Each structure stands twice: as structure tokens, then as C-alpha cells.
Amino acid sequence: MRPIEIIGVASGLGARDPRCGAGPDCIEQSGLASRLLQQACDISWRTTLRPCAALSPLAGIRALSATLAGEVSATVERGRLPLVIGGDHSCAIGTWSGAALALKKHGPLGLIWIDAHMDSHTPETTPSGAIHGMPLAALLGYGAPELVSIAAFSPKILPAHVCLIGIRSFESGEADLLQRLGVRVFFMAEVQRRGIATVMKDALAIALQGTAGFGVSIDLDAFSPEESPGVGTPVKHGLHHLELDQVLRGILHHPRLAALELAEYNPQRDRNQRSLRLVEDLLGAFCRRANT
């Protein structure tokens, strides 16, 4: 198994509740990497990136995304597995731009996006103006030019190579974009009806078909608020993390996995460290599977 290098992105610039910017530091200070290392998981916390306070949110996210893309690309090229921990989900622009850049000479990138939300707004469709609601659209080549142009090519991901899982809160503008592009969306109702294992099997097939590698991006609000209260935009009736743990054990050790991302941990909204423990459970399942 490739060594895992954690890249924190301590930014809440893209969120309506910016306190998620404290998430990476809280996770690092909890000793997560040390505990996973004790499970024989080859993991280290390499760096934590921070936004420039002097810049506007858009300019700050552009600069941070460009830096993150470079870090992720270099990590992939060194034969390591990048694990990006946000911060708000606008970090996905940098994460997957970097992964796509590293794989570009071999082929396109596939992406499994696990979230309560579509995150596919553009400046023309967003009701809130929050950039953490726009990253997937930017990766697909739609939205603010400052975000679309990260890593100097676009799109980073083709519609046929991306799918969303667990969606249950969205607006018509972003839904229309994904429908027009033909992006596969596994709404939460379908996940409940068919089961997460069956849905994830289909999702992996989409992410692998015709690609050089794939990534998994997990927004912690994908889970039910009872299990993960420490998020900025909780939505009822979400995924159950123990079920997802079991499924991810069969995916995250895949040799074509390019990168992994966890976003939107908000320690100020957590209760009894439930979300923090969920993060550790998810990554612990990965490490145990990687060494069995």
C-alpha cells in the first residue's frame, strides 16, 4: 500500500459558516495520524495550507486551490496517496485539479462525490453566493473563470466519469446543469432503496470506466446529523457511517485510487466529538483494510 500523506486545508473562505476552517487543525491536534500509525498504517501529516487573509474570498480560494493542486499533483507523482482534509468543500477544486493534472498524461480522472449537496452551482445560479456550493461545477468546466482555470486546463473531470452519492438537498439551477451534462446522481432515496453496497459498486464502475484513476470526495454532511453533527449544513436522513465503512474497505485500497478527500468538519458544531470519531472510523477502516 502506498504511504498516505495528509494535506490539511484550513480554510472556511467558501462557507457560510467559516468555522470549518478550524477543522484540519482540530483533527491534527487530536492525534489522528499517530493513532492510525499505531494500526500499522503508513501515514503522516505532511502540511497544512492556509488562505491569505488579505485576499477576497474568491481570490483567496483561487490562490489556495492553485497551491493545493500543486501539492496534490506532486504527492501523486511521488507515488504517495494524498489525503486532503478540509476546511470547506471548495478545497475540492484544488484537490481534484491536482489529481487530474498528475494523471493527465495517462488519461482522465474519475470521481465519486459523497455529499448531501450537489455543490454544482455557478455564480449565475447560486442563491447564497457561497463558493463551497460551486466546486463540482468548476471541475466540470462551469463557473467563475478564476476557479475553472486552476492548473491551466479545463475541464478537470468529464461528466461521464463522475457520480454523486447521498444527495438530498439541492436547488434547481445546479440540478439542471448536472442533468444537462448527463452526470449520474444517486439520490438518497435510491441509496435507501438499493443499498449503499450496490450503489457504490455502480459508482466505482462509472469512476473507472475509461479513466486512468479515480478519487473519492466525502463531505461529512453526507451522514445523518445524529452521527455527524459537526458540519455547517446538516441535512436529515443521511448515510450511516458504519455501512459506508464496510463499503469503503472494498474501494479505498484500490490500486487506481488517486486521492481521497474529507471536508466540512466544523469542530464548533460537533457534539461529544461524534464527527471527529466518525472521521477516525472512516480512515481506520481504510487502514485496517489496507493491511489485511
End-to-end CA distance of the chain: 11
Question: Where are any strands of DSSP class E within 176-290?
Answer: 184-187, 213-219, 257-263
Buried b (16+ CB within 10 A) or exposed e, 33-52: beebeeeebbbebbebbbbe
Domains in the chain (CATH in brackets) are 4-290 (3.40.800.10)
Peptide bond into 82 cis (omega under 30): no
Dist CA 6 CA 3 (whole Å): 10
Instruction: Quote the mean pLDDT of the chain.
Output: 95
Predicted TM-score (pTM) of the model is: 0.96
pLDDT of residue 153: 97
Dist CA 227 CA 221 (whole Å): 10
Phi, psi (rounded to 5 degrees) for 238 = -100, -165
Residue type, 20: C
Model confidence pLDDT, tens digit, residues 69-120: 999 999 999 999 999 999 999 999 999 999 999 999 999 999 999 999 999 9
Q: Is the pLDDT of residue 290 over 60?
A: no
Q: Which residues are catalytic?
A: 89, 115, 117, 119, 132, 219, 221, 264
Per-residue DSSP letter, 164: E
pLDDT level of residue 292 (50, 70, 90 thresholds): very low
pLDDT level of residue 291 (50, 70, 90 thresholds): very low
Buried b (16+ CB within 10 A) or exposed e, 203-240: bbebbbeebbbbbbbbbbbbbbbebbbbbbbbbeebbe
